[in-house]
Amino acid sequence: MTSDSFSDDIKDLRHQIDDALKSIVTMSEPAYLYDPVHYVLSGRGKRLRPILVFLVGRLFNVSTLKLMPAALSVELLHNFSLVHDDIMDRDDTRHGQPTVHKKWDESTAILAGDAIFTLVYHQLIQLDSHQQTCMSVVNEATIKLCEGQALDKDYESRKNVTILDYLTMVGLKTGALLSLCCQLGAILGKADEEEILDLKEFGTLMGQAFQIQDDVLEIFSNQTEMGKSLGSDVLAGKKTYLTCKAMEQDPDSWHRLVDSLTDADLHSEVLPSLRTYFEENGIVFEAKSEVYAMMALVKAKLDRFDVPQKEDIIQFVDMITARKK
């Protein structure tokens, strides 16, 4: 359970991040490039990743001012990946508004994504003596992010994707960025190698749990809360924790259900059928149980840190666990 003071702190950090993002790009011409860049950076993201950079940095008493460039670099990297992923996945909605390629076109979105990626390094060069180390871990995380997206696309055409395959994929696609957040905060705090390793694993585990939770919300939340179309991943052949568990549990039954939903209406037929199947077969219960088990492991990675600031990270984990969108 999160305290009022923690919630206020998170809101304050989010406002600071939003303001900083809007001030990064001052150019407006050519509008073909900068209109979509401004559009992305003024979006309604939750800013969970840069917030995590701040919370980890505080374990080592690093100031908000010194952490801000690292925090922004992660958020920029995240937004770059979303712009390009939305093109690849044909997603029309992001954070409750049209995706860049939907509002403009694919060429515009590709160029805007490239520009946002370049801004990542504009932030990193402000980290003084930590530049080289931070650039190295950002490069490593970016490659992992690409590997995760490659597996995600490859798995669309495969039927025999196991839970282990899935966890490997989301550990790269989602876990890499959260792991990067922890590494950057720790590096700027001059943490030792063992501390950095524990925090790196903390981020990867949290990313896996976060994605399982997202898979559940994709089916059982509502479109207004999530800010995107629900059930679209399943129809596109995307592999989620729920679908992989369904295939492992009873592949014939699962494939019959999927085949029966071909050309069915998403909201009136597909979603109700998927919800019923996942609930009646205990799959959603297993997914939620897995999230809670993984979050317990996440918290255990903090055991070595005997400082008051650790409580803020624990509350962050609780906030993530309780999220509805």
For residue 193, give both structure tokens: 């190698």
What value does the mean pLDDT take over residues 66-82? 98
Residues with Cβ within 8 Å of residue 254, at least 6 apart in sequence: 243, 246, 247, 277
pLDDT in tens, 289-314: 999 999 999 999 999 999 999 999 99
Identify the CATH number of the domain in which residue 117 sits.
1.10.600.10
Q: How many domains does the chain have?
A: 1
State the Cα–Cα distance between residues 103 and 81, nearest whole angstrom.
17
Whole domain around residue 112: which residue ranges? 4-321
Task: Report d(CA 97, CA 75) in Å as an integer.
Answer: 18
Tokens 């597909």, residue located? 270
pLDDT in tens, 227-242: 455 676 777 789 999 9
Q: Is residue 220 within 8 Å of residue 291, measured between CB atoms?
A: no
Enter the pTM of the model.
Answer: 0.94
Let me know the angle formed at the C-alpha of 294 by 140 and 54, rounded to the nearest 5 degrees.
50
pLDDT at 229: 59
Nearest to 217 by CA among 76, 293, 324, 90: 324
Q: What pLDDT was estimated at residue 228?
A: 52
Take residue 301 and report the two structure tokens written for it.
């990675």
Structure tokens at 212: 């399982």
pLDDT in tens, 167-187: 999 999 999 999 999 999 999
3-class DSSP assignment, residue 285: helix
